[in-house]
A and B are shown apart, each in its own frame.
Chain A
């Protein structure tokens, strides 16, 4: 017992001694002692040597009060030789800092340029700031982001990377989705006014390189960027700190959306030089000059440039007309409700130039065989193997049809497939390819698709009885009955908002139809809707509601009246396909 007590007391003593020693001896003391020693050796002045001999290591700090919130920088506790010109070649932490004219350490401190946690006196916490510190030491190539906090002149020449990032922010169409107060007013993505203040540079960079890295449900398209471009965008975004020391603090709290203008001046987007040079050009040439600069090709393909996110613009000339393009420019969701494309904050004159340029372009030559035509025109969305997983497939809503699903493909008439290819499918990204191909090649392409891709068997649809028009007249009572049925039977997949995002929808491919897609519903006949609901859709998750849920034709009529009411279609149900909604 006594032995144990004696041993324990010695252990306690040793432990206390160790903790005491560890807490009171720090690396910075060694660094300072080393510096005093080396500086004394290198000095030829007796007074300096005497002063150095007297000095004991102590925490050195600069308190910076001139720039916003007071900063306490203790970096010189280890980096004690920053202003000693003789240590240019020494190893860190005892290396001389290059002199920057007009920036004295006593006035500016360190973290105002370098970031990091100024109060810490051990390397790890000072440099990384520890977990969740938003401003770890900035990489040397990104330091410009902090220079421009004070040097706010727009053409300040010493921050080329931030300037390049700013150009990319517009060229790569970031401005159409994201708001940076005073620069852009997009409302699709998160506001970036303070992103440099809230996020680490590494996070920003990761988000640019792969938007889904930390957020798997992000709809931000992955941009095809060179490493230098990623760096420039990171520097630019890191410089967006809102807590800009040159700005009055209160103005940064005014929501950017409150000041949102209808469109941005062209000079802000493409730079003043280009904006003035395109002024006198005729519309077609102006469109040609502006198209690569305002961000279209950061998603779309045109000739050799490909953003790998959105449809091909090479065939727009014959697929679309000017009216369609103008509506689409002003609000893409009016024609394709699930479109990823943000409304562009540009004046109508620019839209007009862009439309005229796109419509004036000659059509590229078409290859001879259907297989080559499929590869050129269809594979971008539907994929090489027809599985609906093409290059841009994931960005489209609704997703491109999986052409390998025999159950779906074989139960649709050849005429219907040809019609879909010829006229496109309104409300989706399927374009009217018939205008590019002509009737014979369209039919040949459908035959090629039907002969190549569909796999698996389908039940022959037999003895279907579908009314050509709604047996129930459109009336509020009918809509209310339809709503009750919808909330009983349909919302699990189609969602309570009928937007196709029900709780069961996540696992279902193809995704349940968005029943608020007005252009699509306008284009579909009553009979087709009725048939899909009553008998289900083979090759999809849509059940045969007429049998599984025992809905009568009357009830299905109520349901369709409800769906029409969501889209403002009302009765009588449209019988012919219409391409365009009314212009805005």
Chain B
């Protein structure tokens, strides 16, 4: 007891003040954790939508020159001499599914036009079509991650 008392006295902090400080910090920390953990509810770990990451098969399934729209997952798989890419099929204007044509993409709702890389050529669309990240899964299949956008022109070399 005596050593502890003298230690506190040396640092000129009273026992009363130390206890107040500890209580304050403890309660502050606890309320911080409570607020933080409640805020986490706003971002669920998983929802019942289509999974954002999915496999589309081995690279061999997409020969050079492929432009294959996948209806359910709303991406178009493109393969050219640069490699593989996945371009969104969702119009950046109001969310219609765009069609692929010889120019690139065309939105049937309000007439937006995009070139083969998704750059806006005309119509009301405000932004180019986003590109999604592609990776090679350990089982050797191509994996698309629609939760991660990448810059236009970033191809996966296979």
Taking Cβ atoms with an 8 Å cutoff, the residues of A that contact B are 2-3, 5-6, 8-13, 15-17, 20, 23-24, 39, 42-43, 45, 47-48, 50-52, 54, 58-63, 72, 74, 83-86, 106
A16-B30, A58-B45 known; A6+B51 contact, CB < 8 A: no
Question: Could you tell me if A83 and B26 are in contact, using CB atoms closer than 8 angstroms?
Answer: no
Taking Cβ atoms with an 8 Å cutoff, the residues of B that contact A are 16, 19-20, 22-27, 29-30, 33-34, 36-37, 40, 45-46, 48, 50-51, 53-55, 135-139, 143, 156-158
Known: A24-B40, A47-B156, A106-B54. 12 other contacts (CB 8 A): A5-B19, A6-B23, A10-B22, A13-B33, A16-B37, A20-B37, A47-B158, A48-B137, A58-B45, A63-B51, A74-B46, A84-B139
Can you offer 23 A-B residue contacts whose CB atoms are under 8 A?
Answer: A2-B16, A2-B19, A8-B23, A8-B26, A9-B27, A10-B22, A12-B26, A13-B25, A13-B29, A15-B30, A16-B37, A39-B138, A43-B138, A47-B136, A47-B157, A50-B135, A58-B45, A60-B51, A62-B51, A63-B50, A74-B46, A84-B137, A84-B139
Which of B33, B37, B138 gathers most chain A CB within 10 Å?
Answer: B138
| Cα distance, A3 to B37, chains bound together (Å) | 28
| Cα distance, A12 to B55, chains bound together (Å) | 45
Chain B residue, CB-CB nearest to A85: B139
A2-B16, A5-B19 known; A61+B51 contact, CB < 8 A: yes
| Cα distance, A13 to B25, chains bound together (Å) | 9
| Cα distance, A86 to B138, chains bound together (Å) | 9
Of B37, B54, B138, B157, the residue contacting A52 (CB under 8 A) is B138
Question: Could you tell me if B137 and A51 are in contact, using CB atoms closer than 8 angstroms?
Answer: yes
A20-B33, A72-B48 known; A83+B139 contact, CB < 8 A: yes
| Cα distance, A23 to B143, chains bound together (Å) | 29
Q: Which residues of A contact B26 (CB under 8 A)?
A: 6, 8-13
Q: Which residues of A contact B139 (CB under 8 A)?
A: 83-85
Q: Which residues of B contact A85 (CB under 8 A)?
A: 139
Q: Which residues of B contact A3 (CB under 8 A)?
A: 19
Question: Could you tell me if B19 and A6 are in contact, using CB atoms closer than 8 angstroms?
Answer: yes
Question: Could you tell me if B33 and A48 are in contact, using CB atoms closer than 8 angstroms?
Answer: no
| Cα distance, A57 to B48, chains bound together (Å) | 18
Of A6, A13, A47, A106, the residue contacting B135 (CB under 8 A) is A47
Q: Which residues of A contact B48 (CB under 8 A)?
A: 63, 72
Q: Which residues of B contact A60 (CB under 8 A)?
A: 51, 53
Q: Which residues of A contact B29 (CB under 8 A)?
A: 13, 16-17
| Cα distance, A115 to B50, chains bound together (Å) | 22
Question: Could you tell me if A106 and B55 are in contact, using CB atoms closer than 8 angstroms?
Answer: yes
Rounded to whole Å, the gap between the CB of B123 and the closest CB of chain A is: 33
Question: Could you tell me if B30 and A59 are in contact, using CB atoms closer than 8 angstroms?
Answer: no
Of B33, B53, B143, the residue contacting A17 (CB under 8 A) is B33
A47-B156, A51-B136, A63-B51 known; A9+B46 contact, CB < 8 A: no
